[in-house]
Amino acid sequence: MRQRELQLLVFRMDETCYGIDADQVACLQNYDPEQKVLKFHELVGGKSTIYVTPKMLMVKKRVTYPPVLINEPEDMICIGSKEIRPVPVLMAHAAHSSGVWGIVPCKQGMILLFDFYKNSFFCQPCM
């Protein structure tokens, strides 16, 4: 049986590495300080962070929402479904509402898989 592949846009927030399904990304733009944005670290419930190389990510099917501020992606990788591990039980409840749904082990540690469509903010009607 052929395993499903997933294209991930990989970026880092402080020391944590995140991967987003590239199919959820409409576009990536340079940061405009005049534009209202959602800060990625707030979506995942993380501590305040410095955006060293800020980019604005527009989420497909959610274009009425403000763009999401992330650090510039480091890589685009392809992973197989067999490489994905579940979120540890101790993190499962918090991870579910934040949109973190899995982990991919890698040489540098791990990549937390993030799904905009599972994030509690993106599940609400746009204000």
Question: Is residue 58 assigned to a domain?
Answer: yes
Mean per-residue pLDDT, 88-117 = 86
Question: In the prediction, which pLDDT does 125 show?
Answer: 60
Question: Is residue 35 assigned to a domain?
Answer: yes
Question: Is residue 9 assigned to a domain?
Answer: yes
Question: Is residue 123 assigned to a domain?
Answer: no
The larger pLDDT score, comparing residue 68 to residue 98, is at 68
Question: In the prediction, which pLDDT does 57 show?
Answer: 96
Question: In the prediction, which pLDDT does 88 show?
Answer: 84
Cβ contacts of 16 within 8 Å, gap of 6 or more: 46, 112
Q: Which two tokens stand for residue 55?
A: 């980019």
Total domain count, the chain? 1
Q: At 84, phi and psi to the nearest 5?
A: -85, 130
Question: Is residue 63 assigned to a domain?
Answer: yes
- Give the Cα separation of 89 and 9 in Å (integer): 25
Question: Is residue 84 assigned to a domain?
Answer: yes
Contact present, 5 and 98 (Cβ < 8 Å): no
CATH number of the structural domain spanning residue 69: 2.30.30.40
Query: Whole-number mean pLDDT of the chain?
Result: 88
pLDDT (tens digit per residue) in 42-78: 998 878 889 999 999 999 976 678 999 999 999 999 9
Contact present, 10 and 111 (Cβ < 8 Å): yes
Record the pTM: 0.89
Whether residue 127 is predicted with pLDDT greater than 60 in this model: the reply is: no
pLDDT band at residue 3, thresholds of 50, 70 and 90?
low
Reduced to 3 states (helix: H, G, I; strand: E, B; else coil), residue 114 is strand
Range of the domain at 40: 5-118
Contact present, 20 and 26 (Cβ < 8 Å): no
Q: At 34, phi and psi to the nearest 5?
A: -80, -15
> Which of 75, 5, 67, 76 is closest to 34 using CA atoms?
67
Contact present, 30 and 113 (Cβ < 8 Å): no
Contact present, 40 and 70 (Cβ < 8 Å): yes
Question: Is residue 71 assigned to a domain?
Answer: yes
